[in-house]
Amino acid sequence: MPQFQLANFLPQMVWLAIFFAILYFGIVRLTLPKVGRVMQAREDQVAGDVATAEQAKAEADRMAADYDAGVASAQDAARARLGDARAAAAAALEAKLKKSSDALAAKSVKAQAALDTARDAAFGQIESVAADAAADIVERLTGKRPGGDAAAKAARTALA
């Protein structure tokens, strides 16, 4: 094989160094800086995107905290209004119950007065009926009718 002969070895090394230098300076020196700039630009873009995402997440977290605080505030306000409404309803119900109770008490007093009047009237009629019955009984037994005042007095005494 000719490449392993010593006479051909030195020129092959020279040509190898020439092609290596051409490749090194042609590829490494010309293309690697472009690749490095592209990689740096991509790294900068990714870092910027990560920073933007972190800012967006912080803003979203702040908005979520504000929203939660707003919801809690609205719930507290609703609870307060509900308590006020319950208190107002209880006060209105209490006033209506007092008014109804007063009306029932007035009706009860009137009914008791009417009942007392009716009872007194009935008792008076019972006295006159008892006096008449006593006068009739005395007349049948004795043949003589007692006076109206004596019969009424006797009936009143017997009923008391």
Taking only the tens place, the pLDDT of each residue in 83-124 is 999 999 999 999 999 999 999 999 999 999 999 999 888 877
pLDDT score of 3: 66
The C-alpha atoms of residue 39 and residue 32 are separated, in whole angstroms, by: 10
Is residue 98 domain-resident? yes
pLDDT score of 29: 80
What's the total number of domains in the chain?
1
Question: Angle 29-142/148-159 helices, nearest 10 degrees?
Answer: 140
Is residue 115 domain-resident? yes
Question: Domain range spanning residue 54?
Answer: 7-159
Whole-number Cα distances in Å, 77 to 70, 81, 82, 89 = 10, 6, 8, 18
Provide the 8-state DSSP code for 4.
G
Is residue 1 domain-resident? no
Is residue 16 domain-resident? yes
Residue 154, C-beta contacts closer than 8 angstroms, at least 6 positions apart: 131, 134, 146
